[in-house]
Amino acid sequence: MILKRGQKGSFEEQMDNMKEAANVIADLVDLGFQVVLTSGNGPQVGNILAQQSYEDAPPMPLYVCGAMSQGQIGYMINQTVQNELQRRGKAIIVTTISTRVVVDGKDPAFENPTKPIGRFYTKDQAEEFNNQGHGPYLDDAGRGYRLFVASPKPLEIVEKQEILAIAERGGIVYSVGGGGIPVIRTPEGELRGSIAVIDKDRASAVLASQIGAKTLMILTDVSNAYLNYNTDTQESIGEISLALAMQYHDDGHFIKGSMGPKMEAGISFVKETQGVTLITNPENAIAAIQGESGTKIIP
């Protein structure tokens, strides 16, 4: 929604994309939904990391860069959505909450970094960074070398009560940007930032569960999830039961790093809440709500 394929990611491009998304969000409000928004932040946080390469700029920890990206995306959402609602005669507050997400410091993910972030480097550059102890920089699907970090399981949304309070008062809140700012709870009860990236879909499912949402809508760049994706036997998935969704997942139909986390998040939400998950693209969001498009997982 925020950045399209082939775009460089300029502010103007992102704002234009958000204006299109704002129409979808306003349509949901028109239908009577209370809306809580989340998003990824891969391109934005990657640019923030790259901008810190200047010698005169002290580098910030990854979790601080994540917080920066939440503010950046939140500003674009606040502006575009509130302006669109005002055009429709609706005086609704749209706001952003910088959101922390608790992870387990002993999560096995910290021993096996799997999430690539930031810009691409050559093999020689990656070896130099690794030798300096700044890695691991690893090959990312043959496209170049990137920094890999841990992607631990999200456990708790720290600001869940504040998010719920805004929604219950009729406001729209953007939160859990980029999967949230990962924090670890110390034995003394303090929260401390952690070098990690939380999957945005999994974190969104946890938020939806913890605030009592009835529907989790995951917007991506395809209208449906598919069986045998990108093959001659590709088949779109419409409405399916939780049990069948779990079977398809276990059969390996969904690619890791693509539809896999979205289906896992959708399955987790339905299992936890007996609610409904919808997976589609922005163009078909309203049709999916009305049962005319998208993938729908039901209890």
Q: Over the stretch 239-263, which tens digit does the pLDDT of each residue have? A: 999 999 999 999 999 988 789 999 9
Q: Which pLDDT band, with edges at 50, 70 and 90, does 54 fall under?
A: low
Q: Over the stretch 28-40, which tens digit does the pLDDT of each residue have? A: 999 999 999 999 9
The domain in which residue 239 lies consists of 11-101+155-298
Report pLDDT for 201: 96
Q: Which pLDDT band, with edges at 50, 70 and 90, does 276 fall under?
A: very high
Q: Over the stretch 145-183, which tens digit does the pLDDT of each residue have? A: 988 999 999 999 999 999 999 999 999 999 999 999 999
Half-sphere exposure of 215 (CA within 13 A, CB side): 17
In a domain, 109, yes or no: no
Give the mean model confidence (pLDDT) for residues 283-294. Answer: 96
Name the least confident of 54-63, 73-82, 83-92, 135-144. 54-63
Query: What Rg do the C-alpha atoms of the chain give, in angstroms?
Result: 19
- Between CA 73 and CA 81, with CA 76 as vertex, the angle to 5 degrees is 120
Report pLDDT for 229: 87
Spatial distance between the Cα atoms of 50 and 46, rounded to a whole number of angstroms: 6
pTM of the model: 0.91
CATH label of the domain that carries residue 37: 3.40.1160.10
3-state secondary structure the chain: CCCCCCCCCCHHHHHHHHHHHHHHHHHHHHCCCCCEECCCCHHHHHHHHHHCCCCCCCCCCHHHHHHHHHHHHHHHHHHHHHHHHHHCCCCCCEEECCCEEEECCCCHHHHCCCEEEEEEECHHHHHHHHHCCCCCEEECCCCCEEEEEECCCCCEECCHHHHHHHHHCCCEEECCHHHCEEEEECCCCCEEECCECCCHHHHHHHHHHHCCCCEEEEECCCCCCEECCCCCCCEECCEEEHHHHHHHHHCCCCCCCCHHHHHHHHHHHHHHHCCEEEEECHHHHHHHHCCCCCEEEEC
Q: How many CB atoms lie within 10 A of CB 235?
A: 12
Query: Is the confidence at residue 186, as pLDDT, over 80?
Result: yes
User: Of 267, 162, 278, 274, nearest to 211 (Cα)?
Assistant: 162
In a domain, 119, yes or no: no
Spatial distance between the Cα atoms of 204 and 195, rounded to a whole number of angstroms: 19
**Average pLDDT in the chain:** 93
In a domain, 177, yes or no: yes
In a domain, 3, yes or no: no
Query: Is the confidence at residue 78, as pLDDT, over 90?
Result: yes
CB 136 within 8 Å of CB 147:
yes
CB 279 within 8 Å of CB 218:
yes
Distance of CA 166 to the CA centre of its chain: 20
Domain count, the chain: 1
Q: Which pLDDT band, with edges at 50, 70 and 90, does 93 fall under?
A: very high
In a domain, 115, yes or no: no
In a domain, 108, yes or no: no
In a domain, 49, yes or no: yes
Report pLDDT for 246: 97
In a domain, 193, yes or no: yes
Report pLDDT for 9: 83
Report pLDDT for 261: 92
Give the mean model confidence (pLDDT) for residues 265-275. Answer: 97
Q: Is the dihedral of CA 245, 220, 103, 100 positive or negative?
A: negative
Report pLDDT for 172: 98
Query: Is the confidence at residue 19, as pLDDT, over 80?
Result: yes
Query: Is the confidence at residue 53, as pLDDT, over 70?
Result: no
Spatial distance between the Cα atoms of 190 and 188, rounded to a whole number of angstroms: 6
